[in-house]
């Protein structure tokens, strides 16, 4: 009976053995403000006693691409390789998480055996708070303010603010030239719902930070 158990454990061990071992499946990095692409390498080792073949790799979006060391997909026991995850940053800012799913031979279609994740911190050069100004129909009229803080080495100036509708009155105040601004917004009336999208044009040298948008909303009365 002991031999039966030993054979059984051996078979089960082979069936459920780990596949590719990644010491660091999650990695964090910081991107420069004008960087358009970043890449992260994920080293791995075949820690099983049989050849493992990488069958498929799928990134989270079309902004990611995946490379395997030299295009090699089959790894002998003990052999190591690297999977590189490339991320096209595009217009993304702030903390962004991107990943890839890795299928090796024997993985079910809906269950990749490995997930790789990169956490990228992309500097915010134009910070706006709040993003949306809000009033309710019937409330007392008051002006509200969005604060702009410019970050980075060089000053960033607001060149223009263009609303999508005529429902609000806006005034741009310079608090510190190239560093700090306030957009003061007042609804023309609070009798009905209204929405306006304000496009804020700056002279930021990094194109993806150049145009921003904020919102002003008059919502229905709050239910009592």
Partner 1 sequence: MNAAVQLLMVVGLAAAGAGGTYFAKGPPVRTLVCDPATLKPGEICLEQVQEPVVWIDARPRKDWQSNGLPGSILWNLDGAEDAAAFEAEAMQKLFENPKAVVYCSNEDCGVSQQVAEKIRKLDPDFDVKALRGGWQALKDAGRIKDSSGTP
Where along the sequence are the contacts to partner 1 (CB under 8 A)?
Answer: 1, 3-4, 6-8, 11, 56, 58, 60-63, 87-92, 96-99, 101, 109-110, 112, 115, 131-132, 134, 193, 195, 197, 211-213, 215, 217, 219
The dihedral built from the CA positions of residue 72, 37, 198 and 145, taken in this order, carries a sign that is positive
The smaller minimum CB distance to partner 1, of residues 1 and 70, is found at 1
**Residue 61 CB, nearest approach to partner 1 (Å):** 4
With respect to partner 1, which residue has the nearer C-beta, 1 or 166?
1
Token pair listed for 153: 């080495």
Q: How distant is the alpha carbon of residue 195 from its chain centre?
A: 27
For residue 76, the minimal CB distance to partner 1 (Å) is: 27
Task: Assess contact for 143 and 184: CB atoms under 8 A.
Answer: yes
Who contacts 132 (Cβ-Cβ below 8 Å, separation ≥6)?
214, 215, 216, 217
Report the C-alpha gap between 67 and 82 in whole angstroms: 8
**In the complex, least distance from residue 112 CB atom to partner 1, rounded to whole angstroms:** 8
Q: To the nearest whole angstrom, how small is the minimum distance from the Cβ of residue 193 to partner 1?
A: 7
């Amino acid at each position: 009976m002991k031999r039966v158990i030993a054979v059984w454990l051996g078979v089960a061990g082979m069936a459920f053995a780990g596949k590719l071992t990644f010491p660091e499946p999650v990695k964090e990095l910081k991107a420069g403000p004008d960087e358009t692409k970043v890449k992260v390498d994920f080293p791995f080792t075949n820690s099983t006693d049989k050849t493992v073949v990488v069958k498929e790799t799928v990134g989270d979006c079309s902004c990611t691409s995946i490379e395997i060391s030299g295009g090699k997909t089959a790894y002998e026991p003990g052999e190591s390789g690297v999977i590189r995850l490339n991320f096209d940053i595009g217009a993304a800012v702030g903390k962004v998480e991107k990943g890839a799913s890795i299928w090796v031979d024997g993985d079910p279609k809906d269950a990749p055996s490995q997930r790789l994740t990169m956490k990228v911190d992309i500097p915010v050069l134009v910070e706006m708070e709040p993003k949306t100004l809000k009033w309710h129909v019937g409330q007392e009229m008051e002006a509200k303010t969005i604060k702009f803080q410019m970050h980075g080495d060089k000053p960033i100036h607001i060149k223009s603010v263009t609303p999508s509708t005529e429902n609000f009155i806006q005034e741009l105040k310079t608090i510190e030239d190239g560093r700090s601004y306030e957009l003061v917004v007042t609804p023309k009336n609070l009798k009905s719902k209204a929405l306006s999208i304000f496009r804020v044009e700056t002279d930021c040298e990094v194109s993806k930070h150049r145009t921003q948008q904020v919102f002003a909303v008059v919502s229905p009365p709050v239910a009592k």
